Amino acid sequence: MLKIGDYTIHLPDIDTVEQGKEYLVAERGGRKEKIGFHDYDRIYEIPGLYEYLFYDRYKCNSPEVVCALLDEHLSETDGNDDLRVLDVGAGNGMVAERLSEIGAKSLVGIDIIEEAAKAAERDRPGLYDEYHVADLTQLPENVARSLGEKNFNCMTTVAALGFDDIPPLAFARGFNMIDSPGWVAFNIKEDFVCDDDATGFCRLIDHMTRSGILDVKARNRYRHRYCQDGTPLYYYAIVGEKRRDISEARIVDFQ
């Protein structure tokens, strides 16, 4: 049990639970509300809950791992000097905070959840140059135009792929918004890059690497966080250099 603002947070003892089915109970004024760990809109509305839940309690270290891996390869090419980042699935800005620390000159966030944008401005005001609430698969014309003017040379997406959060098509659209050559840094659950993957990410990444679209520089398996039942969740942190766009003819294959 934990007090966060006006809320009392209860985390049930669970012997076994799959990622994506984890939940908490938030109590305020005698009313209890069950909130799934992937109900990000609701989690972002309660200040401090996202950080406590994923980073303090379940020891997520993905922003540090992915950004450190990116920094390592940027440093070899002096790429930190003019890093212009599109942060996809930006959330409340925890990844952008790490990107700023490694020298990013421009940070633009995009997330489909309005509450994420509000949380970013509340928790890390002024961190992003711009923050768009939009769906990358159906971008409004004004957002597409604004993003197209930024000349991004890096895309990041951390703890956002799969689980119906960011689909392969959205990842591909974001990828095509950055310059070639450019940098891509992301993480993905190990289950989504194996032959049994049903999300489409394994097929997309395989196409990008085999076709020379993405030159993978590092692919490190690490513990992303612990599940609610104490099981470690393993992801891959991937950093690569973009060589060219994914053709429109192939992008439609990942809808």
Confidence of residue 192 (pLDDT cuts 50, 70, 90): confident
Encode pLDDT of 199-220 as tens digits. Answer: 778 889 989 999 999 999 999 9
Peptide bond into 63 cis (omega under 30): no
Closest CA to 187 of 238, 242, 232: 238
Whole-number Å distance between alpha carbons of 235 and 93: 20
Confidence of residue 129 (pLDDT cuts 50, 70, 90): very high
> What is the reported pLDDT for 198?
61
Whole-number Å distance between alpha carbons of 105 and 43: 29
pTM: 0.93
Q: Across all residues in the chain, what is the average pLDDT? A: 92
Whole-number Å distance between alpha carbons of 200 and 205: 9
Mean pLDDT calculated for residue range 77-102: 90
> What is the reported pLDDT for 21?
87
Residue 238: pLDDT above 70?
Answer: yes
Hey, how many other C-beta atoms are within 10 angstroms of the C-beta on 108? Answer: 21
> What is the reported pLDDT for 248?
86
> What is the reported pLDDT for 2?
85
> What is the reported pLDDT for 18?
77
> What is the reported pLDDT for 255?
65
Encode pLDDT of 42-51 as tens digits. Answer: 999 999 999 9
> What is the reported pLDDT for 138?
94
Return the C-alpha torsion angle 255, 221, 100, 105, nearest 10.
-60
Confidence of residue 223 (pLDDT cuts 50, 70, 90): very high
pLDDT above 70 covers a percentage of the chain that reads: 96
